[in-house]
Chains A and B, each alone.
Chain A
């Protein structure tokens, strides 16, 4: 049974940093690409970033490029999202998700809420 558990969310001031984590279990973590997707309160889904199974390739949405960094530690079965220079518009529930196959997201965590506010 695939399980993805996000953590690290909270309230942070604009301009500050935060690191999210996603602990994975129930599958061979080192064999799958992983994503971060976010959802602002009352809004739709927005893809944020993806990392390949071995961490060698990373791609980002334009809205976070240069501020957010996706990474992974396959020895710890954990995915990360380092978020710098946070803005009010980054306020959202952040989900981690496992590649379901080329082009889509198969399994999702329950999300962690990030609130950027002074």
Chain B
């Protein structure tokens, strides 16, 4: 089955740049999406189609793609960015399943 792999945790100091990666064999052929989830809250979409930012999402959030890896970059990290981040894509084999990565806990030191 299709899998997306993320690091369990990333830590940065305020004002630094955080990079969270997501790897998967189908990523060269399928878009990736990123969601932010704070404790006790529902996930919120922060990046779609690898690098597009929904309205209302701060410009410090950006996304990029290279081969089998996509990256969520948060520039000038703020304390409020501390959250779990999940990548998501779709199985490209035609079975119509949506797949999430295991999630990355971003800690702002």
Contact = CB atoms under 8 A, between A and B. Distances in A.
Contact of A105 (B30, B31, B88, B97): B88
A44 interface: yes
Interface residues of B, number: 26
Given A100-B48, A103-B89, A103-B90, A45 B42 contact: no
B98 A50 contact: yes
Nearest to B8: A44
Interface string B86-108: 10111000011111111100000
Interface string A106-118: 1011110000000
Contacts of B102: 44
B45 A100 contact: yes
B42 A95 contact: yes
Nearest to B86: A45
Contacts of B96: 50, 57, 59
